[in-house]
Amino acid sequence: MMNDDIEKVVYSEEQLQAKVAELGRQITEDYKDAKEEIYCVGILKGAVTFYTDLVRQIDLPVHFDFMIASSYGNGTSTTGSVKILKDLDYDIEGKHLIIIEDIIDSGTTMNYLMKYFRERKPKSVKLCSLLSKPSRRTVDVDIDYCGFEVPDEFLVGYGLDYAEVYRNLPYIGVLKPEIYA
């Protein structure tokens, strides 16, 4: 049923799991000698699938936290204004912070959040995004751990949605234009 709305599969479930495992190994290696606590912050809702798979691949103790921030409202393009709908539950001062996001598109939300987090004086702030869509970038964002660079197509699945639907697909695919037109 939902599969009928997909024009093509971009990343299979197997490709996603392989990339997540690779990112987890890289993060583990980079933080293996860290003395300070590591806080993994998932940006809800889109990153939840990637987040849960990724943190299970990090072979170090990590604290979980989540944030909800949006610059999209109910549309398909950014409003340019970022709203924080749920803030962190824990103090991150002096901690290593890894922000986990599903996709960096315009960069508006993440640029805002990176500044917001740095003001809270963590030991370090790193960004891990499953996907990056540089052709849509309007604001510079440095991604420390990036899964895949993707073209300007409307992607859904593995946490990515259209109107809160398709997040539960186990792969990432291109949504047929007639669905969102």
76-90: pLDDT as tens digits: 555 568 889 999 999
Here the CATH number for the domain that contains residue 21 is 3.40.50.2020
In percent, the amount of the chain with pLDDT more than 70 equals 95
Is 20 a residue whose pLDDT tops 90? yes
What share of residues in the chain are helix, strand, coil (percent, to 5)?
25, 30, 40
Question: With bands split at pLDDT 50, 70 and 90, how would you rate the model's confidence at 70?
Answer: confident
**Is the pLDDT score of 115 beyond 80?**
yes
Q: Where are the alpha helices (DSSP H) in 32-131?
A: 48-55, 108-118
pLDDT at 110 over 60: yes
Instruction: Report residue 73 CA to chain centroid gap.
Output: 17
Residue 75 confidence (pLDDT) above 80: no
Q: Rounded mean pLDDT of 142-154?
A: 96
Give the integer Cα–Cα distance in Å for 181 and 56. Answer: 37
> What is the sign of the dihedral through the CA atoms of 79, 81, 86 and 87?
positive
Mean pLDDT, the chain, rounded, equals 94
The pLDDT of 49-78, averaged and rounded, is: 85
Residue 39 pLDDT: 97
Quote the tokens at residue 11. 């990343």
Helix (H, G, I), strand (E, B) or coil at 175: strand
What is the number of domains present in the chain?
A: 1
Determine contact, residues 167/47, Cβ cutoff 8 Å: no
Measured at the CA of 40, the angle between CA 34 and CA 65, to 5 degrees, comes to: 135
pLDDT band at residue 72 under the 50/70/90 scheme: low
Residue 125 and residue 139 in contact, taking contact as beta carbons nearer than 8 Å? no
Query: Which active-site residues does the annotation give?
Result: 105
More confident residue, 86 or 75: 86
List the Cα angle 49/114/143 in 5-degree steps.
Answer: 60
Q: Which domain holds residue 61?
A: 2-180
Query: Above 90 in pLDDT, residue 58?
Result: yes
Find the mean pLDDT for residues 160-175. Answer: 96
CB atoms within 10 A of CB 104: 25
